[in-house]
Chains A and B, each alone.
Chain A
Amino acid sequence: MSFQKSTFHHPRLKVNDLGLTYRDYEGALSTLCAGCGHDSITSAIIQACYELSIEPHKVAKMSGIGCSSKAPNYFMSKAHGFNSVHGRMPSVTTGANMANQALLYLAMSGDGDSASIGFGQFAHVVRRQLNMVYMVANNGVYGLTKGQLAATADKGVKNKAGEISLFNDIDLCSMALQLGASFVARSFSGDKKQLVPLLKAAMSHRGFAFIDIISPCVTFNNHPASTRSYDYVHDHITTAAVTDFIPIKTEITTDCNVGDCEDICLHDGSIMRIKKLDSEYDTRNAHKAIMDIEEHKKKGEILTGLLYFKPTASHFHEINNTCDTPLNQLTQDALCPGARILSGINDSFR
């Protein structure tokens, strides 16, 4: 058994602006099942962070419990991180974000972690518009506890043990849209061409970004009756637009016809370029996005890609009017302004 991955790398690997190769963004060697979709998500995150030249020490990796929640251990070993309790990642991330808003919060959750035990936490962190990238590795089961059906499993499907999903499924993208998330996308662990640009846009977005990533569980949900198996997803996946992420310093070329093409400018000046495959496609209409998801589902298709995006939406810190300096950098005199000011504050409540 190999517990180690060689530190040798391809002699002609490119380095990013920080002089790092993508291998410098790796973490420990994964202990998930061989072939787990979560590992592909990990590798897409590594790729996205490398391409964006993100400094690892300016990242906090947040997670709950589950195979998916173990994944942060497998990327960016030089980043900060908090592997919290089951379903409680959103509140821990909120706390961390309050204390230090200068970090990039990359949160990894599962469909059990977010749509079952942590559903309430999920709902509130969306409506609060916390500045973070919230990723759900959606495999339709509780992988870590051996394949019980998750709340995201399509109604009527069977799990590996033959148990049927009796209840309506929760669509986390629809939920996020309804609750006002400013960036909502769905992707597939097996489609890095789509996933990496989406991750890069989500990481560059200032506000709450949600990505639901279909991620097959090879061990407990890759059987013929599953709607989250590699074969099923390969056959039923569809997209309305191809997204491309163009970093700020790159020259923008026009390589598609006006009308089929839409450029969205992010707050940092980078561009999200959308090439429409479906002329009805519209990233600015949350209501329509919910309808689109439903319609594709009825046809037996899984709609992926960027579903909704509002780059200018206000986020948690704006809404709360928090101070710009991260709390952990505030000095004693700013935090304890003295008795006179305190009594002034107290007086304001009288």
Chain B
Amino acid sequence: MLTLKKTDTRHYQHFLKVVDCQHACPAHTPVPEYIRLIAEKRYTDAYMLNWQSNVFPGILGRVCDRPCEPACRRTRVEEKPVAICRLKRVAADNKGDISAYLPIIPTEKNGKRIALIGAGPASLTVARDLLPLGYEVVLFERDAKAGGMMRSQIPAFRLPETVLDEELALIIDMGVECHFGEEITSLDKLLHANFDAIFIGTGAPNGRWLKIPNHEKVAKHVDTGISWLANVSFEHIDSAPKRVVILGGGNTAMDCCRTAKRLGAVDVKVLVRSSFAAMKASPWEKEDAAAEGIEIMPNYTPTEYVFKDDKFIGVNFDQVKSVYDKAGNRKLTTTGKTLLVECDLVLVAVGQDTVFPWIEGDLGIKFNEWQQPIVDPMSLQSSLNKVFFGGDAAFGPKNIITAVANGHQAAISIDLFCADKDPLTERPDSSFNLVSQKMGIHEWSYQSNIDHQARNLVPHIDWQQAVKELTAEVELGFDERLALEEAHRCLNCDVHTVFTESTCIECSACEDVCPMDCINFIEGDENSSRNDLVQQFHVKDVNPEQDLLISDKLKTGHIMVKDEDVCLHCGLCAERCPTGAWDMKKLVIDNIGATIK
């Protein structure tokens, strides 16, 4: 009889949520598992495990947005997260020959033809997932090479072309029929061609302009950040004027300023409306820009492009203050001060939009008010059932790993659709297993001792040297010693504490030994609220975002409630338990793609 709100451990959801890094990764990459493989120097295995779920480990190991790192549980017990992203690169840098581990592509096809529009990470993930199933995949890309914004916008000093080429080739060589230099100008035409389904992964290619006074006069002196970066990538631009101003505070702004410096600009300023802390750019991007001598000036909002005697001289700004209302919304109020920043080139990096002039209005594809297609967030199917969207094209500018996750979702949907199944209601789920890590009485198959070391910094080339070369990669990556040290910082959050009520004799040994005060034997029943339980905890100040592991009633009528928040997965509870009521079990999920929801 299950009267109590006992945690449902028959599904993987509770356990997956405990692995916060993996849960935060849009593609649910099994982070702790690959870190353990790195700790064992099994780089090829670590690479392939990544490749399964995030498709571009070498690329992402350098430029991923890293939603996993702020989620890393290590930040709850010390200052910095595990360098998850940099460890991914270690796997890529040190892997051996992977050809034997790549999926086998059936020579006999299943008779279904899929069109992919755009060769960014979203489309390429769909291709990678569908080719091994026997699909014929036809790719249309207006540029001459694959990669999307990973090639055209992300600068080579962050992502070397060789790394990009290698990982793109892995997919293209699986047998994608590529039509490079072919822009799709009519979806209607494609719908009439012989395709069973169409995936649209065309990104958000339109940079936004700032419509401030004189904007119609400044053509020669102003560009959008993304178009300017693309021109640099494609070598249409190979120098920058002396004084460059960048408007905006996101990652595009950071790439623009660093690129401008490399192309000869001496005076590079980034002016941003928000405060420094509220800038959209990742903290590490801001740090690197600052290290390269770029001046970031927060709290300035541009008011007009300034001309003197018909000659462009610069941009005028109002100095502002960010004020937050009770609901936490930001409002900018002016301080009354203005500033003229003289410059030769302005790069506008204030956002991107999706545009679909090539999708005819009468095809049945519905769009919302921001010109984004209306798609089901899980299946990514549009209102025209054979057309699917993913990546930036579906939801506006996000990042590579989100595009990859979307690619997995869309591949599952397309596979169902082509089998006449409903991509939403007939979606498969993953199966899972909890595998005991017990090797002997007090021996675990993972490193259960907690390493207290602080995060390692990634070595980089000299900053003076860095700004002199357009394509020299700045970061050098961890060497083996640093990599192993960093890998040992991982808390193995996928090795779960699993509790069995029937064997517990309520000796409280686990409760006493736990270094983090996670375990509580308390009173509670089906009527208890979360707060009723928490008020009996050793530490009552709990993190409301984190789940509790609640047991069924024990022999004395008490229940066991574990606060998962700060568990170190050190296994001491299981070592101290005389009856094996606790075990340390690794969560193993097959078909990770199906966990993306």
Contact = CB atoms under 8 A, between A and B. Distances in A.
Interface of A: 1-2, 4-13, 23, 29-30, 33-37, 39-40, 42-43, 190, 192, 216, 218-219, 222, 230-231, 234
B575 A2 contact: yes
Nearest to B442: A1
B275 interface: no
A10 B566 contact: yes
Contacts, number: 96
Nearest to B542: A12
B570 A40 contact: no
Nearest to B440: A1
Contact residues of B: prevailing secondary structure: loop
Given A1-B442, A2-B442, A39 B448 contact: no
Interface in B495-518: 505-509, 512-513, 515-517
Q: Which 8 A-B pairs have the closest CB atoms?
A: A35-B578, A6-B450, A1-B442, A43-B512, A12-B541, A8-B77, A35-B507, A218-B578
Given A6-B570, A10-B516, A39 B509 contact: yes
A23 B512 CA distance: 11
Contacts of B441: 1
B453 to A, nearest CB: 12
Contact of B449 (A2, A23, A35, A36): A2
Chain B interface bracket (under 10, 10 to 19, 20 to 34, 35 or more): 35 or more
Contacts of A9: 77, 515-517
Contact residues of A: prevailing secondary structure: loop
A104 B452 CA distance: 34
Given A12-B541, A40-B508, A5 B578 contact: no
A10 B450 CA distance: 14
A13 B513 CA distance: 15
A2 B442 CA distance: 7
Given A6-B450, A10-B539, A37-B507, 19 more contacts: A2-B442, A7-B452, A8-B78, A8-B568, A13-B517, A13-B539, A34-B575, A34-B577, A35-B505, A39-B512, A39-B576, A40-B509, A190-B506, A218-B507, A218-B578, A219-B578, A222-B505, A222-B578, A230-B507
Nearest to A8: B77
**Most B Cβ at <10 Å: residue of A35, A43, A190:** A35
Contacts of A231: 505, 555
A1 B443 contact: yes
13 contacts: A6-B450, A6-B452, A6-B570, A8-B450, A8-B452, A10-B538, A12-B539, A34-B509, A34-B576, A35-B507, A35-B509, A190-B506, A190-B507
A343 to B, nearest CB: 60
B14 interface: no
B566 A6 contact: no
Interface of B: 76-78, 441-443, 448-450, 452, 505-509, 512-513, 515-517, 538-539, 541, 555-556, 566, 568, 570-572, 575-579
A9 B579 CA distance: 26
B515 A5 contact: yes
**Most B Cβ at <10 Å: residue of A2, A10, A11, A29:** A10
A2 B509 contact: no
A10 B452 contact: no
B592 to A, nearest CB: 30
A2 B444 CA distance: 10
Contacts of B570: 2, 5-6
Contact of A5 (B78, B538, B572): B572
Contacts of B517: 9-10, 13
Contacts of B538: 10
B566 A11 contact: yes
A231 B505 CA distance: 7
Contacts of B450: 4, 6, 8
Contacts of B555: 231, 234
**Most B Cβ at <10 Å: residue of A1, A13, A33, A218:** A1
A44 to B, nearest CB: 9
Nearest to A230: B505
A6 B505 contact: no
Given A2-B570, A35-B505, A190-B507, A8 B516 contact: yes
Contacts of A37: 507
Nearest to B507: A35
Contacts of B556: 234
A39 B505 contact: no
A251 to B, nearest CB: 21
Nearest to B74: A8
B579 A39 contact: no
Given A10-B566, A39-B513, A2 B448 contact: yes
A175 to B, nearest CB: 28
**Most B Cβ at <10 Å: residue of A11, A33, A36:** A11
Contacts of B507: 35, 37, 40, 190, 216, 218, 230
A13 B566 CA distance: 12
